[in-house]
Amino acid sequence: MLRIYNTLTRKKEEFSPIKDKLVTMYSCGPTVYNYAHIGNLRTYIFTDLVRRVLQYNGYKIKGVMNITDVGHLMEDSDDGEDKMIKASREQKKTPLEIAKYYTSVFFEDLKKLNIQKPEVIPKATEHISDMIKYVEALMEQGYAYETSDGIYFDISKFPEYGKLSGINLEEQQAGARVEVNLEKKSPYDFALWKKAEPGHIMQWESPWGMGYPGWHIECSVMSQKYLGTYFDIHSGGVDHIPIHHENEIAQNEALTKKPSVKYWMHGEFMLVDNGKMSKSLGNVYTISQLEEKGFEPLDFRFFCLNAHYRKKLNFTFDGLKAAKVSRERLIQSLYLHKTSNQKTAEEKLEKYRAEFMDAINDDINIPLALGILFSMVKETKSQDIYKLALEFDKVLGLDLDKLPPPKNQTDIPQDILDLVEKRTEAKKRKDFALADSIRDQINQKGYSVVDTRDGVVVNKLES
């Protein structure tokens, strides 16, 4: 039984989809004004793990992830310039060129990290008329009002506002920040549509003159268009809980008067050197930058897999190095399993299979699942274990089916591997005399054999 933590109810709940075996899932996608950084990518890895765990449980998935190519202002709370326009000015390119370029790099990053592509990837700029209709409906039903600079959602008309983050609006308003827009009825009212100032380079015709959509309306419109007014899972990073997702709920549920999402899931943040990532600190890394420093993208995926998605994860280069070494050990050890001709008892395999399933089904506990894989590879080398590891890899996404022979294991002849196996068996039986004599035979044939924490390593001796 799969259980997941629902941000809305603040507890782990049994997962049961709205409709049979098809899970409908929406994830907030990137604002394509810049490269995705490793923090963003942690969140996409988290969503990918949720997808893979669902698939492992036999569910089919209809996943939607939007591309925000207009409307996301510098502050999530509708202040500042549009991120796309700022990038367009700074890089002297049109917003379309900016969006196209960063969207394609984003997809390359996903591919490098073995993140599955969602089934539908809608762009905000291709859904403007749907957004206008949605805002009109909110206006007609009295949930929105017009000011000189746009159309705003009136949160006083939606008493449940704040239910996701548990924010107490009365307390908040007492100490509220100074509101720049004096026409707003409440500082928490948010823009559904903005009127374009003269010279604004992204604008569309609307009943309220030329303008562009607010960021939050994009997600409501695109999720409902492709998944309906009630769908299973909505995911994103924790920073989206208090503003973006609160606002999505208000927009969705004002019109339908019923819940819009069954399970809200949020991934915790990635920190760098225990602090926030910021351009001014020069610690906003991309996957390509990690590659330039000699890491493989899957080292980063493996690094992320070692922390539960609801825990903060502190990125350091030492931590990434440790992950790299640990992944190499796993690969070396699995290679020995792959090349073994021994068998493992079915009960033992079943035990690992069950433990792995329990771990992933306990709110996607991937670190625990990885621990189970690591215990499993310490068992006597056998192809059965290798095959089970490949099953687990459907969730982990570490390309364990594409094991390169570990550098020092290349071209080790089968007779040597057989002797290594016999020696391991002898050691297990505590027949150390036999183990030593087999080691001597291996040495005489020109190979060394060393026991490491993660298994046996064989090398060709230098002649």
- 43 makes contact, choosing from ligand AMP, Zn ion, none, with CB < 5 to 8 Å by partner type, with ligand AMP
Closest to 333 in 3D by CA, of 276, 283, 408: 408
Q: Is 28 in the site for Zn ion (CB under 5 A)?
A: yes
Q: Is 73 in the site for Zn ion (CB under 5 A)?
A: no
- Of the ranges 25-33, 385-393, 421-429, 446-454, which one interacts with ligand AMP (CB under 6 A)? 25-33
Q: No. of H helices and E strands in the chain?
A: 15, 14
Alpha carbons 210 and 219: distance in angstroms, whole number: 21
Q: Is 101 in the site for ligand AMP (CB under 6 A)?
A: no
Beta bridge partners of 457: 450
Q: Is 222 in the site for ligand AMP (CB under 6 A)?
A: no
- Of the ranges 3-11, 27-35, 147-155, 428-436, which one interacts with Zn ion (CB under 5 A)? 27-35
Count the alpha carbons within 13 Å of 445 in the hemisphere toward its beta carbon.
19
Q: Which is nearer to Zn ion, 219 or 349 (CB)?
A: 219
DSSP class of residue 244 equals: I
- 219 makes contact, choosing from ligand AMP, Zn ion, none, with CB < 5 to 8 Å by partner type, with Zn ion
Q: Please list, residue by residue across 95-131, b when 16 or more beta carbons sit within 10 angstroms of its beta carbon and e when fewer do.
A: beebbeebbebbeebbebbbbbebeebbbbbebbebb
Count the alpha carbons within 13 Å of 371 in the hemisphere toward its beta carbon.
11
Closest to 456 in 3D by CA, of 414, 411, 422, 413: 422
Q: Is 164 in the site for Zn ion (CB under 5 A)?
A: no
The token pair at 75 is: 């502050």
Q: Which is nearer to ligand AMP, 72 or 329 (CB)?
A: 72
Q: Is 219 in the site for Zn ion (CB under 5 A)?
A: yes
- Counting beta carbons within 10 angstroms of the beta carbon of residue 350, is it exposed (0 to 12), middle (13 to 18) or buried (19 or more)? exposed
Q: Is 223 in the site for ligand AMP (CB under 6 A)?
A: no
Q: Is 214 in the site for ligand AMP (CB under 6 A)?
A: no
Q: Is 373 in the site for ligand AMP (CB under 6 A)?
A: no
In this structure, are residues 361 and 345 in contact, taking their beta carbons and an 8 Å threshold? no
- 239 makes contact, choosing from Zn ion, ligand AMP, none, with CB < 5 to 8 Å by partner type, with ligand AMP
In the complex, the smallest distance separating the C-beta of residue 78 from ligand AMP, rounded to whole angstroms, is 14
- Of the ranges 21-29, 35-43, 44-52, 200-208, which one interacts with Zn ion (CB under 5 A)? 21-29
In the complex, the smallest distance separating the C-beta of residue 66 from ligand AMP, rounded to whole angstroms, is 10
Q: Is 240 in the site for ligand AMP (CB under 6 A)?
A: yes
Positions touching Zn ion (CB under 5 A) are 28, 219
